[in-house]
Structure 1
């Protein structure tokens, strides 16, 4: 080599050169950026199809509902039809597939986008660092070419993997969402474990309605009837056995229970025709030494009102037997809770919270004067015990209610010596208020943001339900002691609360202050609880007289109608109809078509 060639080579070796890893870093950043962009587009496309339909949905609709399926379900309530029911099932299945498919795409897409962005920013930062030109020592050409070749292959491989993942996500996101949603489906569809609040409000699923308040959701209830002429009497059906419990209505089915100390039964009537759809005996495995309790005439074996959730109907009896039937009359599960130690027999009605069946099992003390009362929550589908809470109260004949305040849902119970609220999900006590009533039978209610509870031979309490611990000194809004119901439960709205005692004295009070607007002697006897339908107050006396009054600050009687049969139950209200049980029959009162 001559001197000139040597000088040229030395100059080339000393000249600043770009790092060989710079180009691979740039290429990696480009590939990762393109990949992240593709994933972002797929995620946006996956999200957009859910938005237009949501504008037609009510505020409390679930992600698995659509405007179409809600409309179809409303049509099904009015016109039960197997083909429409099958279409709803097919659409429900399709919505679930789409919903969970989108969730899967979103989850995978989020992780892929996170990984792509991490690679993009790492490669970009590396490229910026490697871009600075440094004087590199001379190196042999062949090894440098080999390193670059391997690096390019690695970048190409990474790009292929990322692009393949993005394409797979894009293909997967289209999914199986184009099939006919209304095609009948032969697959078994698992129904949600419990109905939505919107569905519950449209029914009469337990004692005194959806929330135990005695307020109807519909105002189109007849204001009179005539059993002699048949005016507004849609049908009248005999009930096979006696019980003091009140009607429970879900869809086109009405549920009642009855029986004797020898046999307990559940009945299901067609709400449209009054036909007895099924009548089932209760079959319960009892302890070997089981003996039926003494049944008191005023209470009977079946004083507790049933509960229904659109999937099953539940009943409990004074001997501790509890049972669940599906809507077709198949017994799903049954158990015996033990004979309650109750002075006048067990009478607490059942209540529901989501999928939980709530049982207030109050009893008298044992021989050592220890409390025996409990509050149970069972899984409605299986009957499995979910939670149990011991209660420091004596036997009562009240029923629990579930209220939803702005702060939290609560189970409200009324007994002596405590009015107690519980967390319905876990059974934890939230607050308690000390009281001094006895033989407590009226159930609590909730109106105008206050809890109302009658303690016979003590006081009527209005309570604020936002406390914790012992709220006896802090959360009583007001009390009265002039009219205290012994059996009938109170009813109220945002302005007024009404109290009715067994002798027929009816009082109207300001819901916020307890100021009395009026008091009236109905000159009749009452065991049934009063009900509110819009601005009207419905009362059923023990002689079967329905009094219709104005729910107003001045007493006004609007009409009287006579069933001609003894009534101790409370009415149920659905769209345009009133259901009332007498000693022997079930009446449906509604306007003739």
Structure 2
């Protein structure tokens, strides 16, 4: 199926219990949308309009609906207007709040993360850098931890590292791990530079990358850099890692595969268009979606094998979501559900 999206936004689709959640925004209005996964029908939309005052700045490549939503049955949406809202599965507002002023060169873009009744927000701005956790039942602050960083656009990632959960955040100049339940900093490594948007990946080591810095493999157990790569780096798209292989895509249109253990570049593939969408890895394949909506599917293997190349025919910046053997893509104007249409 294919369904039109009423408002623009760069956030990626999230799926919970066969419901797809996205947001859209302009300077005049902000909305949260819920679509039926099975047929693409718009089940409900909720207008968000409780900010009063001068809107924070947002560039055209960011807009006011860049952060991807989070869901644990309830739905959490954050807009570049400082509006944060929690809705139930029917679109009723459970709580809402204005978070502190957003101040960065392009507009707010860090996505939300929810786990164990806590909502995590990476808030790296000109005036303040911090990671904070809110209680999901009320929106009240559970904890917050200051971070000595420059403005950034990356998002928090939650990894099981040495049998312990850690929030891992990337920014200029540090990559750091935090206890998700207390906010205590566990480790910190300097090395990032520039305007950091890619989030971290994990497979035995932490992987952090950004254009004008490097691709770093970090062992958080002893706070050491295992290897670094300085060429062909992402500036928006986040890397992914699994089974000893690391994959990344760049705004210059390069797709790369590395050996996680030693940083050896196993293969690469040059495309005609760059990538903002992050790659998605399954058991046997890796999916890369470029800015013009071309989807490259490679085998998740040490040898280069292009399984398919598909033209969606729409501009795409969002990362696709995978659910029940189907893929949900978001273009500038539409949601697509791709998969085998089995007859009942």
Q: Bin the TM-score by the shorter chain.
A: over 0.9
Match of residue 587 from structure 1: 336
Picking from 214, 239, 253, the partner of 1:459 is 214
In structure 2, the gaps of 5 or more residues are: none
* 8 A contact 2:19–2:36 mirrored in 1: yes
Match of residue 313 from structure 2: 564
| Cα distance, 1:285 vs structure 2 | 5.7
- Larger Rg computed on CA atoms: 1
| Cα distance, 1:443 vs structure 2 | 0.9
Tell me: CA distance 1:364–1:285, structure 2 relative to 1, closer, same or farther (3 Å): closer
Picking from 270, 273, 295, the partner of 2:58 is 295
* 8 A contact 1:435–1:455 mirrored in 2: no
Match of residue 520 from structure 1: 269
Match of residue 261 from structure 1: 27
Picking from 86, 104, 114, the partner of 1:352 is 114
Output the CA distance in 2 between the equivalents of 1:546 and 1:324. 33
- Higher strand fraction: Structure 1 or Structure 2? 2
Question: How big is the alpha-carbon RMSD for the aligned residues of Structure 1 and Structure 2?
Answer: 1.2
The answer to whether the aligner puts 1:324 opposite 2:79 as a matched pair is: no
* 8 A contact 2:175–2:192 mirrored in 1: no
Output the CA distance in 2 between the equivalents of 1:548 and 1:303. 25
* 8 A contact 1:547–1:560 mirrored in 2: yes
Output the CA distance in 2 between the equivalents of 1:285 and 1:515. 49
Output the CA distance in 1 between the equivalents of 2:217 and 2:81. 34
* 8 A contact 1:483–1:499 mirrored in 2: no
Output the CA distance in 1 between the equivalents of 2:186 and 2:115. 16
Output the CA distance in 1 between the equivalents of 2:247 and 2:205. 14
Q: Secondary structure at the match of 2:6?
A: coil
Output the CA distance in 1 between the equivalents of 2:124 and 2:83. 15
* 8 A contact 2:236–2:251 mirrored in 1: yes
Within a 5 Å distance, the mapping from 1:439-450 to structure 2 comes to: 439-447=195-203, 449-450=204-205
| Cα distance, 1:352 vs structure 2 | 1.4
* 8 A contact 2:200–2:207 mirrored in 1: yes
- Higher helix fraction: Structure 1 or Structure 2? 1
| TM-score, with length taken from structure 1 | 0.57
Output the CA distance in 1 between the equivalents of 2:51 and 2:252. 42
| Cα distance, 1:261 vs structure 2 | 1.9
| Cα distance, 1:358 vs structure 2 | 0.2
Within a 5 Å distance, the mapping from 1:118-133 to structure 2 comes to: none
> What is the count of residue pairs matched by the alignment?
342
Ranges of 4+ aligned residues in structure 1 off by more than 3 Å? none
Q: Secondary structure at the match of 1:520?
A: strand
Output the CA distance in 2 between the equivalents of 1:283 and 1:378. 21
| TM-score, with length taken from structure 2 | 0.97
Output the CA distance in 1 between the equivalents of 2:205 and 2:193. 20
Output the CA distance in 1 between the equivalents of 2:58 and 2:273. 27
Q: Secondary structure at the match of 2:256?
A: strand
Output the CA distance in 2 between the equivalents of 1:430 and 1:306. 27
| Cα distance, 1:295 vs structure 2 | 2.2
In structure 1, the gaps of 5 or more residues are: 1-234, 366-371
Output the CA distance in 2 between the equivalents of 1:295 and 1:487. 16
| Cα distance, 1:560 vs structure 2 | 1.4
Post-superposition Cα deviations, 1:17-72, rounded to whole Å, max 9, x if no partner, equal: xxxxxxxxxxxxxxxxxxxxxxxxxxxxxxxxxxxxxxxxxxxxxxxxxxxxxxxx
Output the CA distance in 1 between the equivalents of 2:306 and 2:18. 32
Output the CA distance in 2 between the equivalents of 1:418 and 1:525. 26
The answer to whether the aligner puts 1:404 opposite 2:153 as a matched pair is: no
* 8 A contact 1:483–1:506 mirrored in 2: no
| Cα distance, 1:291 vs structure 2 | 1.0
Output the CA distance in 2 between the equivalents of 1:305 and 1:285. 19
Match of residue 56 from structure 1: none
Output the CA distance in 2 between the equivalents of 1:465 and 1:586. 39
Match of residue 238 from structure 1: 4
Please say which of residues 333-342 and 410-419 is displaced more in the overlay.
333-342
Match of residue 505 from structure 1: 254
Match of residue 98 from structure 2: 336
Within a 5 Å distance, the mapping from 1:130-209 to structure 2 comes to: none
Tell me: CA distance 1:300–1:406, structure 2 relative to 1, closer, same or farther (3 Å): same
The answer to whether the aligner puts 1:314 opposite 2:76 as a matched pair is: yes
The answer to whether the aligner puts 1:477 opposite 2:197 as a matched pair is: no
Picking from 403, 411, 415, the partner of 2:171 is 415
Output the CA distance in 1 between the equivalents of 2:282 and 2:186. 32
Output the CA distance in 2 between the equivalents of 1:552 and 1:486. 24
* 8 A contact 1:577–1:590 mirrored in 2: yes
The answer to whether the aligner puts 1:374 opposite 2:130 as a matched pair is: yes
* 8 A contact 2:110–2:153 mirrored in 1: yes
Post-superposition Cα deviations, 1:153-172, rounded to whole Å, max 9, x if no partner, equal: xxxxxxxxxxxxxxxxxxxx
